[in-house]
């Protein structure tokens, strides 16, 4: 479905076996030189979400130079991002993601309303959800308030944010703890976003 212009939600896009593989891969990503870390906000607050970045490295509010990339973005994840765009728009339009941000939501974790403006490319953002179901809030491009649309994101769902939705405020106000399928191998929620930094 298309909850806003340029935004496409594809419930259940990832087969369960693929979800399990992605969960295992996200666990492995955290065993190498990188780990899932909380981001400190400009005002000193600490985010409840813990994040890890593959490929072009992101640190709070900016991307670093390529030479500082600690773990390459795997080719299979680039391919999955391109497949996602074909699913959402019928073509990938030369989508060439160079970074993946993986967010882990443990007990009580949430993400406040924000815009993603560090990327220098107009390319869409691909989002894959795994584990616990959450409420995802897609707002407007003006401010954090109304109008916004609340959408439940379930494990295996694909969401693509292109066109006008690319610079919309968005957040995750609620995660429903314990809703992940028992066989998935995950307690909590993971979200993988694939992006072009344009750097």
Query: Which chain residues interact with ligand MD3 by CB under 6 A?
Result: 101, 103, 111, 116, 125, 127, 159, 161, 165-166, 168, 170, 172, 191, 193
Q: How far is the CB of 90 from ligand MD3 (least distance, A)?
A: 20
SS3 category, 192: strand
Instruction: Give the residue nearest to ligand MD3 (CB).
Output: 191
Select from ligand MD3, Fe ion, none the partner in contact with residue 193, using the beta carbon and a kind-dependent cut-off of 5 to 8 Å. ligand MD3
Q: Count CB-CB contacts under 10 A for residue 56.
A: 22
Out of 37, 83, 87, 116, the residue judged to bind Fe ion by CB under 5 A = 116
- The torsion region of residue 19 among left (phi > 0), alpha (psi -120 to 50) and beta comes to alpha
Q: Which stretch binds Fe ion (CB under 5 A): 2-10, 74-82, 90-98, 111-119?
A: 111-119
Tell me the torsion sign for CA atoms 161, 51, 118, 40: positive
Give the C-alpha distances (Å, rounded to integers) separating 35 from 3, 103, 169, 192.
34, 11, 27, 15
For Fe ion, the binding residues (CB under 5 A) are 116
């Amino acid at each position: 479905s298309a909850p806003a212009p340029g935004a496409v939600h594809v419930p259940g896009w990832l087969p369960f076996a693929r979800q399990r593989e992605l969960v295992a891969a996200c666990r492995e990503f955290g065993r190498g030189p990188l780990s899932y870390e909380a981001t400190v906000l400009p005002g000193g607050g600490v985010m409840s979400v813990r994040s890890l970045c593959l490929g072009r490295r992101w640190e709070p509010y900016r991307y670093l130079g390529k030479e500082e990339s600690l773990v390459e973005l795997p080719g299979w994840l680039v391919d999955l991002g391109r497949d996602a765009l074909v699913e959402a728009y019928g073509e990938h339009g030369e989508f060439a993601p160079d970074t993946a941000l993986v967010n882990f939501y443990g007990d009580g974790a949430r993400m406040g309303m924000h815009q993603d403006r560090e990327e220098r490319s107009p390319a869409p953002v691909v989002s894959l959800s795994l584990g616990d179901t959450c409420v995802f809030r897609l707002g407007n491009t003006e401010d954090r308030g109304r109008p916004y649309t609340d959408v439940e994101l379930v494990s295996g769902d694909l969401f693509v944010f292109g066109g006008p939705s690319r610079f919309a405020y968005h957040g995750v106000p609620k995660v429903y703890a314990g809703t992940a399928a028992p066989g998935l191998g995950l307690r909590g929620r993971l979200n993988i976003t694939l992006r072009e930094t344009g750097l």
